[in-house]
Structure 1
Amino acid sequence: MERGPGRMLHDLGGLDAESRNRHCGRWQNVTMRPPRAKYYNTTGPCDPQRHYMLPPTPRLPQARVLIDMDRYFVLHAPRQTGKTTALRTLASELTAEGDIAALMFSCERAKAAGDDYAAAESLLLDSLRQAAEWSGWPDELLPPDPWPQVTPGSRLAVALTEWCRRCPRRLVLFFDEIDALQGDSMISILSQLRDGHNARPKGQPFPASVVLCGLRDVRDYKVASGGDPGRSNPASPFNIIAESLRLGDFTADQIAELYGQHTQATGQEFAKDAVDRVFELTQGQPWLVNALAYEISFQMGVTGAIIAGQVDEAKERLIRARATHLDSLVARLHEPRVKRVMEPVVAGAFPHVDPTFSDDLSYVRDLGLIKQKPPLEVANSIYREVILRVLGDPTEQYVMADPRSFVLPDGRFDLPRLLQEFVVFWREHGEVLIRQEGYHEAACQIILMAFLHRLVNGGGYLDREYAAGTKRLDVLVRWPYTGPDGERLMQREAMELKVWRTGGDDPLPDGLAQLDRYLDRLSLPTGVLVIFDRRPEAPPWKERGGFEQATTPSGRQVTVLRA
């Protein structure tokens, strides 16, 4: 956490005049730097002096209420959504009021301890002391030095008890990155917090409120501390499922407010269509919202009003660069728990539900990969695109065709020729690629998407829509080109992908009806239906790839490819 004179003065706002003078005197000879131009932050907690940011604490209105009630609770959200910034600001505000000493500290160092709970305790207590010393608090609020020396496995509880015995204020602690604790270390720390919480009614000093902040919801912490996730236990501080807080994504209005700060500071406007496009692509995911704005305003060096087309360009640049945020998400795709949820989403199939599926679903939701509420689909358009690109990357290496050869003399994209080339590719490589694909149920969709991406994405765009249970994957190819009069035009081609599985009926009738609805939504006169045959009795590979014309229920003439 960055410290400085401005932050120190803010943190000391709730102290008496003598304490403020004593601690601020350290800075009286420091020359203040002139303020720098603000920018959109994509790395670590936000600083209002340097970054454009929304007020953090209004995003957590319930947190203050629970702290006033001396509750222990969980705040969970995916990574890089603003948890640390919100907690740091809330701790500062609470301390400034004078009745509470609120401190946020990170548990991340304790990850190295693994199951060694004694080492984890030592690392946590070191982090706790360092955070207190860096806070600028007066001596009477600081923890005891040294910590009480007691048996490992009880050091945290005894240390917090002794600190609360000495501290003239109510102590509130924010355990950030609590997920870093593992195995026996997690059990030991949470059990000590539970025991200390339960001893408070008997007059035992212990923190007034504790907030566990991380990726996971309260259910996982109850399991880690030895509790039954499905059973109520009034004595447990983690029996607060209804009050477990999740930090939400930005609304469209909040994105407009955040981007408006840049306009106010620089005069450069984000046009309404650009703000709308950002919300459409991100669904308000905070890191993505900031990353797109940073890419446009800083990396791309856009001058003049920012429009939707530049948002699309920024999205492509982010995905190609595979920023750490995106990489950390896609690295999870082959975890068994994640694959069990994501494979049917990509395949458009119904998931196989057993007693453990609910836990897996909650885990993937907590990672931020899928939406918080049904239907079961990827959280936003950018994640949706990244997932298919990553899964299809091995297939792309097999695609040898030159993307430039599919551009017609008038600048438009030759989709019929691309489909013919795909048939050749499918006959030659399809059987091998399906066997190699880890997401076996979604192999056909992944392979065609990889082929399209390799040949379209250099000059055009692919928009994909898929969700569990839909039994289809919708694709829109958008290809910008220059018309005969020099005007910029956009070619749009719609495709629908379906799979004929063992024991199922020919999906042609359903596919035509679904393609009809998709074309209605896009206001397009025609499209392509691709049907992959995964049945054992499917034609030999060398005979697959036939084209035919068909009529949709509304009378549209469309192309059907049976692969």
Structure 2
Amino acid sequence: EKTKITNQVSKRDCFEDLANLLISNSGSQTTPATQRVVIIIDEFDGIPQTVVSDFLHSLRRIYLSGVDSRCPFSLGIVGVKSITQLNYDRSISPFNIQDEFALPNFTLEQVQELLAQYTEAVGQVFAPEVIKALHRQTAGQPFLVNRFAQILTEELNIPKTECIDMTHFSEAHTRLLRERNVNIQHLITNIRKNRRFETLLMGIISRDRGVDFNLDNEYIDELSAYGVLSEDPDGFCKIANPIYQYWVMEMFQLTINGWEGEYFQDNKILVKPGNTASSTVNKGN
């Protein structure tokens, strides 16, 4: 809603080019199209609902008409929510025009494979404990994994003949915790959308009570969609990864009574009685 178009000429040229592209690739009943045009719209759930409603009606008419002329072959929308989760016009049924999929986090094996590609290309190796710690701290969140690896391989200026070890990992981890990259900024923005999120997250972190991971709860469902919450083996809510937990604690300046380091038990994080969680920095594992 805050986005402003600064160049009207470029906007007009863009839509004219798109129309020409659709015409040139539309084909006919006797001559099939030589190319297919696929449109991908990012941040779809951030578009004003009044605009999206008309857009969805147009898609619906295209789908029902069965006409290929001057129409995109397919449309991909990218966002944290699907059409069915958004509060749009319920007269528009999305079930027969959409196919959705979620991008899961990397497994440990996938992180190992990713870093092995770097080793193969450059020759620099990672200590096995570094790879495990990187996956543990990020829980395989794709942006965090890649940003962590970027700091290790590009920004710390580690000689390429030197093995990347836990000392390097600790330095990269501290740097990652202290920066507000785009992923962390989105995390902060999403959490601050609703004051009820703070109450829920503080209850989960302080472990005063277990909170069932119930997606019928609109707040849990929304935080899960944002990638903030996930389900632990016992069916309770947990913060998706230790890096997110650190930032949640930073945001709310959460004071933890007693030794509440269980979530970080493998990561050597302990919070002393009376200290705020924001004063702790995980040094690595």
TM-score calculated relative to the size of structure 2: 0.73
1:245 alignment partner in structure 2 = 101
Q: Does 1:213 align with 2:78?
A: yes
Q: Are the structure 2 counterparts of residues 260 and 253 from structure 1 closer, same or farther at C-alpha, using a change threshold of 3 Å?
A: same
2:125–2:163 Cα contact (<8 Å) kept? yes
Q: Does 1:327 align with 2:185?
A: yes
TM-score calculated relative to the size of structure 1: 0.40
1:463–1:477 Cα contact (<8 Å) kept? no
Q: Are the structure 2 counterparts of residues 171 and 180 from structure 1 closer, same or farther at C-alpha, using a change threshold of 3 Å?
A: same
Q: Are the structure 2 counterparts of residues 183 and 389 from structure 1 closer, same or farther at C-alpha, using a change threshold of 3 Å?
A: same
Structure number with higher relative contact order (C-alpha < 8 Å, ≥ 6 residues apart):
2
Cα distance in 2 for residues equivalent to 1:463 and 1:278: 22
Shift of 1:352: 9.9
Cα distance in 2 for residues equivalent to 1:255 and 1:184: 41
Q: Secondary structure at the match of 1:377?
A: strand
Cα distance in 1 for residues equivalent to 2:247 and 2:144: 13
Cα distance in 2 for residues equivalent to 1:171 and 1:365: 33
Q: Secondary structure at the match of 1:318?
A: helix
The structure 1 residue matched to 2:247, chosen from 383, 386, 389, is 386
Query: What stretches of structure 2 of length at least 5 have no aligned partner?
Result: 275-285
The aligned runs of 1:76-225 (5 Å cut-off) are: 112=3, 127=14, 142-144=21-23, 164=26, 168=33, 169-200=35-66, 203=67, 205=69, 206-221=71-86, 223-224=87-88
The structure 2 residue matched to 1:279, chosen from 115, 118, 135, is 135
- The two structures, once aligned, show a CA RMSD in angstroms of 4.0
Deviations 1:113-145 (A, max 9, x none): 79xxxxxxx998865666x69xxxxxxx7235x
Deviations 1:305-329 (A, max 9, x none): 1123422321111111232321221
Cα distance in 2 for residues equivalent to 1:291 and 1:204: 42
1:341–1:364 Cα contact (<8 Å) kept? no
1:364–1:370 Cα contact (<8 Å) kept? yes
1:476–1:495 Cα contact (<8 Å) kept? no
**Structure with max Cα Rg:** 1
Deviations 1:410-464 (A, max 9, x none): xxxxxxxxxxxxxxxxxxxxxxxxxxxxxxxxxxxx1248xx9xxxxxxxxx994
The aligned runs of 1:160-559 (5 Å cut-off) are: 164=26, 168=33, 169-200=35-66, 203=67, 205=69, 206-221=71-86, 223-224=87-88, 226-227=89-90, 236-239=93-96, 243-303=99-159, 304-336=162-194, 338-339=197-198, 341-348=200-207, 349=209, 358-371=217-230, 374-392=235-253, 446-448=254-256, 464-465=261-262, 478=268
Identity %: 22
Q: Secondary structure at the match of 2:75?
A: strand
Q: Secondary structure at the match of 2:190?
A: coil
1:282–1:382 Cα contact (<8 Å) kept? yes
2:22–2:37 Cα contact (<8 Å) kept? no
2:282 alignment partner in structure 1 = none
Cα distance in 2 for residues equivalent to 1:371 and 1:211: 26
Shift of 1:237: 3.7
Shift of 1:184: 0.4
Cα distance in 2 for residues equivalent to 1:185 and 1:298: 42
1:526 alignment partner in structure 2 = none
Shift of 1:280: 0.7
Shift of 1:331: 2.8
One-letter amino acid of the counterpart of residue 215, structure 1: V
Cα distance in 2 for residues equivalent to 1:112 and 1:259: 37
Shift of 1:351: 5.3
Q: Are the structure 2 counterparts of residues 493 and 464 from structure 1 closer, same or farther at C-alpha, using a change threshold of 3 Å?
A: closer
Q: Secondary structure at the match of 2:169?
A: helix
One-letter amino acid of the counterpart of residue 261, structure 1: Q
Cα distance in 2 for residues equivalent to 1:389 and 1:287: 20
Shift of 1:268: 1.1
Q: Are the structure 2 counterparts of residues 292 and 113 from structure 1 closer, same or farther at C-alpha, using a change threshold of 3 Å?
A: closer
1:464–1:475 Cα contact (<8 Å) kept? yes
Cα distance in 1 for residues equivalent to 2:101 and 2:123: 37
One-letter amino acid of the counterpart of residue 369, structure 1: V
2:283 alignment partner in structure 1 = none
Residue-pair matches, total: 260
2:279 alignment partner in structure 1 = none
2:126–2:165 Cα contact (<8 Å) kept? yes
Shift of 1:244: 2.0
1:270–1:305 Cα contact (<8 Å) kept? yes
Cα distance in 1 for residues equivalent to 2:94 and 2:182: 35
Give the structure with the larger strand fraction: 1
1:281–1:381 Cα contact (<8 Å) kept? yes
Deviations 1:236-280 (A, max 9, x none): 344578x42001111212211211122122221011111111111
Cα distance in 1 for residues equivalent to 2:211 and 2:198: 11
Deviations 1:140-198 (A, max 9, x none): x7235xxxxxxxxxxxxxxxxx9746782444332233223112012111221122212
1:385–1:464 Cα contact (<8 Å) kept? no
Cα distance in 1 for residues equivalent to 2:85 and 2:26: 28
1:197–1:237 Cα contact (<8 Å) kept? no
Cα distance in 2 for residues equivalent to 1:463 and 1:254: 31
